[in-house]
A and B are shown apart, each in its own frame.
Chain A
Amino acid sequence: MSATRRGERVLRVAAPLGVALLVLAAWHALVVAYDLPRYIVPSPLVVAQTLAADWELLARSLAVTLKITLAAFALAVLAGTLVAFLFSQSRWLEMSLFPYAVILQVTPIVAVAPLIIIWVRDTQLALVLCALIVAVFPVISNTTLGLRSVDPGLLSLMRMYKASRWQVLWRLRVPSAAPYFFAGLRISSGLALIGAVVAEFVAGTGAAGAGLAYQILQAGLQLNVPRLFAALAVLTLTGVALFAAMVWLSNAVLGGWHESMVSARSEE
């Protein structure tokens, strides 16, 4: 059994890697075959070279974007969890405010970002706010759902032993919500990065620190397509790393007790 399990684990990494290699090889072959100029489609090798050559620049930009992303993500987790707790304590509050959380979520951030950037003097803060708006909703909705999705039998049990509201919250609702919360974190971390990049795009030529979006924008204007690809690669890998970190965290916290539920619920 452990042999098949290990086999599956290897496959889980090897299969997507294989796909990546295939795609890269095909990409390279096409570029060579049709002799495509590097200012339209650079081959993966050229992208890799550019990545190495421009690393210092890209790394500095990555640091800028990552700072905004992480700040927004941290705030989203804090604010989202707080709101979810309030919602779970009062149906009334949830009914009156949840629609506004939805409105916040469905309004395209590109449309709101200019306003925020005008209103908030500090550009960094404005960018963090934009990314926060994008990232907070999954934390709110997942955690609220989790805090409410409590086994009714366990709720009866708590009632029978005269558990206080707090005891029900801490001993029952919070542990029940944990898998939902972590599923929310996974989505939210990716959205924070997307929100940060979109906001940087809107803010335009970054007077205050040039993030990855700025590099992509500039590279596009200068037709420096290899650098554009390199910046894009850095961005994508960052997103993947964030997601992987969340998966690891979720497994580290839940692994011991919720094993079956984690796999069942995180697919949602």
Chain B
Amino acid sequence: MSAAAPRAVVELDRVSRTYPSGTRALDSVSLTVAEGELVTLLGPSGCGKSTLLGIAAALQPPSSGAVRWWGEGPGRIGTAGHRLAMVFQSATLMPWLRVASNVRLPLDLAGIERGAGDRAARAALARVGLAGFEASYPRELSGGMQMRASIARALVTEPDLLLMDEPFGALDEITRARLDADLLALWAGRGAGQRLTVVFVTHSVYEAVYLSQRVVVMSARPGRLAGEVAIDEPYPRTDDFRVSQRFASHARALQQLLARATEAAAR
């Protein structure tokens, strides 16, 4: 048991997905994400990122290929040590529930007692900078605040695997940079015993470089893995890193990979 490779949290083995409409969204994609990793999926719009994430979240089955979570089927997802949460591309809050109740929802569904749920919801809201908005309705929040509430809802279950589908895609540059930094703090802040694994979808090259240990680039129609780039940089990553020489060279490498992938798809 010496220096064994970290456990795989989610493994996709030659996964394809064809929608009933006939669209081939994913074509034989194999991807393994290890425990504690922060991996980014980068690709143009419509290349199947959301589809891949949906399959990794066990929300839809692959048309062919296999998916394993912690080495087994989807049966144990949701139990201690195997918790999974997803932040969708839009906030998907229930408009008839107050923010705190929205955040508490996963706990309510799991039958956790209301008082404990409320405490956890308040803590999660504080973590995303929404302390004091517990009693508001989603429509009283700005778009960015709604997105943060939806992140709080994902965090409230203390997930082991966090899937994020362009969570900051609709936000302005300033807010996005802050939330990116918050995400890194959150990811790094987990104790050694329980490490948070993150799969993050984006179509921003810069966001990918700033966040990830590893960037997986996808090409479109059908969605395939075009390659990956390791971002071998230390954490915590500072704002200086964003404007460094090394940052630029990583971004260039990614851009070239993306361009080649897009070209190949066009041919």
List residues of A whose CB falls within 8 A of some B CB.
Answer: 151, 153-154, 156-163, 167, 171-172, 175, 178, 256-261
Contacts and interface: CB of A to CB of B under 8 A. Distances in A.
B57 A257 contact: no
Contact of A258 (B59, B96, B157): B96
Contact of A160 (B59, B94, B97): B59
B88 A153 contact: yes
Contacts of B90: 153
B144 interface: no
Contacts of A258: 95-96
Interface in B136-151: 137, 139
A11 B137 CA distance: 30
A260 B139 contact: yes
Nearest to B89: A153
A157 B110 contact: no
B4 interface: no
A158 B92 CA distance: 11
B78 interface: yes
A172 B92 CA distance: 12
A4 to B, nearest CB: 20
B109 A158 contact: yes
B109 A175 contact: no
Contacts of B94: 154, 171-172, 175
B86 A257 contact: no
Contacts of B58: 160
Given A153-B90, A158-B109, A171-B105, 18 more contacts: A153-B92, A156-B54, A157-B92, A160-B59, A160-B85, A160-B86, A161-B105, A161-B106, A161-B109, A163-B109, A171-B94, A171-B108, A175-B94, A175-B96, A256-B137, A257-B96, A258-B96, A260-B139
Contacts of A256: 137
18 contacts: A153-B90, A157-B88, A157-B105, A158-B109, A160-B84, A160-B85, A160-B86, A161-B105, A161-B106, A161-B157, A162-B109, A162-B110, A171-B105, A172-B94, A256-B137, A257-B96, A258-B96, A261-B95
B119 to A, nearest CB: 19
Contacts of B97: 257
Nearest to A257: B96
Nearest to B138: A257
Contacts of B86: 160
Contacts of A154: 92, 94
Contacts of B57: 160
Contact of B59 (A156, A172, A259): A156
Shortest Cβ-Cβ A-B pairs, 7 listed: A257-B96, A153-B92, A161-B106, A161-B109, A175-B96, A163-B109, A156-B59
B139 A161 contact: no
Contacts of A159: 59
A157 B92 CA distance: 8
B95 A161 contact: no
A167 B85 CA distance: 18
Nearest to B78: A162
A261 B103 CA distance: 22
Contacts of B157: 161
B105 to A, nearest CB: 7
Interface string B28-64: 0000000000000000000000000010011100000
Contacts of A151: 92
Contacts of A175: 94, 96
Contacts of A172: 94
Contacts of B78: 161-162
A155 B137 CA distance: 20
A157, A178, A257, A260 — which one has the most chain B CB atoms within 10 A of its CB?
A: A157
Nearest to B90: A153
Nearest to B59: A156
